Amino acid sequence: MRLSRRQLVAAVPAAALAGARPARAQDGRTVITYWYGAANAAGQAALQHDLVEAFNASQSQWRLVMEVKGGAINNLLRVALLAGNGPDIVQTNGPSYLTPIATAGQVLALDDLAQKYGWKDAFLPALLNTDVFGGKLYALPRDYESMHLFYNKAMFAENGWKLPTNRAEMEAVAEAALAKGIVPFGNGNADWKGVNEWLLTVFINNVAGPDTVRRALTGELPWTAAPFVEAIDLSKSWYQKGYFGKNYFSLAGEQAFMQAVNGKAAMVMSGSWAFGYIGAGMNKPDTVMDVVPVPTLGSAFTGGLYQLGCGATMSIARNSPNVEGVVAMFNFIQTEGFYQAMNRDWPGKWTIPVKNLSPAMLKGIGYPLFEKAIADMHDAFESGKYGFTTWTFWPGATETYLIDGIEQVWLNRATTADYLTKMNSMFQQEMKEGKVPPIPPRTA
Amino acid sequence: MWLLVLPALAINVAIILIPALLTFLAAFSAWDGIGTPSWAGLANFLALIDDPIFWSSLTNNLIWTAIFLTVPVLIALVMAALMLAFPAARTPLQVIYFMPRIFAAAITGRVFQGMIYSPATGILGWLNAHGFALADPLADPDRSLFAVAGVDIWHWWGFLAVVFLAAMRQVSVDQIEAARVDGAGFTALLRHVLLPGIRPTLTLMLILTVIWSFTVFDFIYIITRGGPAYGSEVLSTLAYRHAFFENDVGQAAAAAIVMSLFGLCATFAYLRIQSREEGA
């Protein structure tokens, strides 16, 4: 490969910093480094116990050293990789974050390793294929995710509300809740603006339908098409009717979720990570909460829909001198023991998309609500019946605008047409630049 | 002589001049922050001009500057003059006033967000529960900038007061006593004796305020992340969003250059005032 002058300038400090020499732990093992993003106290304890300590105890050659870097992990990672000084295991927040890193050649293609260790047969194709760029596999998916409709089943029973199966029924429950002074949906974005896109994932997919979304993601249809106008208008109408409560911008995600558990909200539209709100008591047998896929909000399909999402990808840094160690870790996270322990102690973040999800794997988690959701998602993602989460398939700049710009629509500072026109132009530009992750096929 | 200057010069070149030049170059390139940059000419600046969020961010920076040139400065001047007038209370008051300055911005921001403004866990929520219908200003795009400015003023004015007090203590006691003998009250003393007496310090702090106002980032990012609906977005949070969320380093660098231009103007103004005073 011939290096350009600019690449050469970037490579000099990178090479100086990298050294590409494996570090040794005091016990003589070779150290493999891993940076993790944001994790709460329970998550950090689970990572330390179920991943780091368990992996280090499972073999004698490698020592996994994990650093929790917090919410700015993507920024740190990009700078570190550019300087040739990143961790051995490169974890990103999903395929749309991996795309620029993989196309810049900062992580290794895993095809030979995947062949050698049978990863291509071990992972669900719908998830694994989101990490394929230019015909090469660059990462393993760490989890699968979707949006869900959590609801307070005790409140529903008490008020005689029927579980909604379409938009009209959903709005009927929301109006009934409002009339009783109950917040229809306990959502809040004070600590994480990304909540906006959780909701938009639902509106876009469940109003326009997943086939229409796929056509837009592959460039066949502009985002200004009528089904998307309807989706954004519906989100605006629900926000302005107060369906998300008057404190949407003031409450943190978990705070807002607890409104449903405490009988102040009827439902919550949240992602699989919400199963990790163990403080909400959803892992207890007598929980007041139940969960279903979010029902259709348009006429494109009937029933509920899971939206395919991947919350994190795991790759090997281009300069890593410890490829075999990372491979050992990648194989470890596919074991039944790890799957059960991690999903029991920190539910929702490590649903490794293994193809063969045996009932025994799920049973060991001991969290019936979560086990039911994992099994349902697995079936949907295996059979190709899914929509597309915005955080997995929308490229970086478009996704950022999707999140920030929608607040202007909800607060009457921009029209739906202006919003979708800008989103469409950003998406088309990023598509031209090859920044849209691979879009997996789906079955009707 | 040059050898004595060399270490400081080398450090400045390495950590200020070179990154500044690289940022300048980045503003004329298309770069996602990890691949290979390519020449983009003026495209990043033209895109900024076309972006209404850039203009609203710039306006927010100007509003922020106007707020910080007046509110904390006035509070600090009055409080410093009062401390000068009551020497017995001076030491404990200085400690109390200065204390917010030593708290990390992240802590102050979270305290105001969760314990004061929050309708669920804050004082505002308590007031709402007791019959006062007060909405969270952080949730309102028209008020969020002012709500964050309130937090930063709380954190900032005490520092200014301590600086102004130190300067006022350099004003001749004879001059102050003479003014009092002539019948000057508190306002007249402040206006005709103390303010002229601390003019160099006041000028420096005002110029620094302009520079800092165009680089303000921490409180806004921690408390509102520039929202809602870009209501509290300023140039630094805009640049951060371009660089680290949209992976558009070129646009981020262009926004950073605009930010720096205001700082440069303020610096030139200060140097000019300083040289005029030295010449006088």
A78 contacts B139? CB cut-off 8 A? no
- Cα end-to-end distance, chain A, whole Å: 44
Nearest CB among A78, A411, A435 relative to B141 is that of A411
Tracing tokens 């680290």 back to the chain, one arrives at B244
**Is the Cβ pair A407, B113 closer than 8 Å?**
no
In this complex, which of A81, A190, A246 lies closest to B34 when CB atoms are compared?
A81
CATH code at position B243: 1.10.3720.10
Looking at residue B198, its pLDDT comes to 95
The predicted model gives B53-74 an average pLDDT of 97
In chain B, residues with a C-beta closer than 8 Å to the C-beta of A262 are none
Three-state SS at A135: coil
What residue has token string 């985002």?
Answer: A223
Q: What is the pLDDT of residues A361-407, one digit of tens each?
A: 888 888 999 999 999 999 999 999 999 999 999 999 999 999 999 99
- Token pair for A254: 């978990």
Q: How far is A76 from chain B (nearest CA, A)?
A: 10
Q: How deeply is A344 buried, as exposed, middle or buried, from its count of CB atoms within 10 A (0-12, 13-18, 19+)?
A: middle
Q: Could you report the per-residue pLDDT of B137-156, keeping only the tens digit for each?
A: 999 999 999 999 999 999 99
Judged by CB atoms closer than 8 Å, whether chains meet at A396 and B120 is answered as no
Encoded tokens for A60: 């004698």
CA distance A414 to A424: 15
pLDDT score for A294: 98
Which pLDDT value is given to residue A11? 43
Q: Which residue, among B143, B116, B174, has the nearest Cα to B60 in the 3D structure? A: B143
Cβ distance A250 to B117 less than 8 Å, yes or no, reads: yes
- How far is C-alpha A202 from the geometric centre of its chain's CA atoms? 14
Q: Distance between CA A195 and CA A407 in Å, rounded?
A: 11
Flag if A250 and B120 touch (Cβ within 8 Å).
yes
Instruction: Tell me how many residue pairs between chain A and chain B have CB atoms under 8 A apart.
Output: 85
Degrees (nearest 5) of the Cα angle A282, A286, A292?
50
Q: What is the spatial distance between Cα A427 and Cα A439, in angstroms, rounded to a whole number?
A: 14
> Measured between beta carbons, which residues in chain B are less than 8 angstroms from residue A410?
229
φ/ψ bin of A162: left (φ > 0), alpha (ψ from -120 to 50), beta (otherwise): beta
Question: Which residue in A249, A261, A264, A421 has the most chain B C-beta atoms within 10 A of its own C-beta, making it the best mutation to test that interface?
Answer: A249
Q: In this predicted structure, what is the pLDDT of residue A26?
A: 76
User: Which helix (DSSP H) or strand (DSSP E) does residue B30 occupy?
Assistant: strand B29-30
Q: CA of B141: which chain A residue's CA is closest?
A: A411
**What pLDDT is attached to residue B280?**
65
Which residues are A65's β-sheet partners?
Answer: A33
Domain count, chain B: 1
Please report how many Cα atoms fall inside a 13 Å half-sphere around the Cα of residue A264, on the Cβ side.
13
In chain A, which residues have their Cβ closer than 8 Å to the Cβ of B119?
A: 246-247, 250-251
* B241: amino acid identity, one letter: R
- Asked if residue B191 belongs to a domain, the reply is yes
What one-character DSSP code corresponds to residue A272? G
| Residue B26 located in a structural domain | no
Nearest to B35 among A74, A100, A407 (CB): A100
Nearest chain B residue to A75 by CA: give it: B244
Q: Do B241 and A400 touch (CB under 8 A)?
A: yes
Chain A residues within 8 A of B109 when measuring between CB atoms: none
Q: What average pLDDT does chain B have?
A: 93
Nearest partner of A84 among A322, A317, A323, judged by Cα = A317
Q: Tell me how far CA of residue B102 lies from CA of B83, B89, B96, B107, B268, in angstroms.
A: 20, 21, 11, 10, 30
pLDDT in tens, chain A (444 residues): 444 554 444 444 444 444 456 677 778 899 999 999 989 888 999 999 999 999 999 999 999 999 999 888 888 998 899 888 899 999 999 998 999 899 999 999 999 999 999 999 999 999 999 999 989 999 999 999 999 999 999 999 999 999 999 999 999 999 999 999 999 999 999 989 999 999 999 999 999 999 999 999 999 999 999 999 999 999 999 999 999 999 999 999 989 999 999 999 999 999 999 998 877 788 888 889 999 999 999 999 999 999 999 999 999 999 999 999 999 999 999 999 999 999 999 998 999 999 999 888 888 888 999 999 999 999 999 999 999 999 999 999 999 999 999 999 999 999 999 999 999 999 999 999 989 999 999 987
SS3 A190: coil
| CA of B245 vs chain A CAs: smallest distance (Å) | 6
- Domain architecture of chain A: domains with CATH: 5-144+309-383 (3.40.190.10), 147-305+394-432 (3.40.190.10)
Three-class secondary structure of residue A242 per DSSP: coil
A265: three-class secondary structure by DSSP? strand
How far, in Å, are A146, A256, A263, A277, A362 from residue A273 at the CA level?
Answer: 9, 14, 21, 8, 16
Q: How far is CA A160 from CA A8, A153, A156, A176, A295, in A?
A: 69, 10, 6, 10, 19
Q: What is the pLDDT of residues B71-91, one digit of tens each?
A: 999 999 999 999 998 888 899
Q: How many CA atoms lie within 13 A of A418 on its CB side?
A: 12
- Evaluated on CA atoms B164, B169, B171, B173, the torsion sign reads positive
Residue A250: the pLDDT is 94
* Closest alpha carbon to A244 in A167, A170, A188: A188
- Higher-pLDDT residue of B186, A237: A237
Residue B182 neighbours by CB distance under 10 Å: 10
Minimal C-alpha gap between B134 and chain A (Å)? 12
Q: Are B112 and B219 in contact (CB under 8 A)?
A: no
Q: A289-292 and A89-92 as β-strands: parallel, antiparallel, unpaired?
A: unpaired
Q: Residue A162: CA atoms inside 13 Å, Cβ hemisphere, count?
A: 10
Q: Which residues of A touch B117 (CB under 8 A)?
A: 250
pLDDT band at B52 (very low <50, low <70, confident <90, very high): very high
End-to-end CA distance of chain B: 29
Q: Which two tokens stand for residue B204?
A: 């420096």
- Residues on chain A bordering chain B, Cβ-to-Cβ distance under 8 angstroms: 4, 6-7, 72, 74-75, 78-79, 81-82, 100-101, 103-104, 106, 190, 193, 246-251, 255, 396-397, 400-401, 404, 407-408, 410-411, 413, 435
Cβ distance B230 to A251 less than 8 Å, yes or no, reads: no
Residue at B17 is within a domain:
no
**CB-based contact A100 B118, cutoff 8 Å:** no
Domain that holds residue B116: 53-278
- Domain-located, residue B218: yes
DSSP, collapsed to helix, strand or coil, labels residue B97 as helix
- Across the interface, of B35, B120, B248, the residue whose CB is closest to A103 is B35
Measured CA to CA, the distance from residue A403 to residue A401 in angstroms comes to 5
Does some domain include residue B12?
A: no
Q: What's the CA angle centered on A252, arms A248 and A258, to 5 degrees?
A: 90
Distance CA A74, CA A308 (A): 22
Cα–Cα dist B199/B171, whole Å: 11
Strand ranges in A42-82 using DSSP code E only, listed in sequence order: 62-68
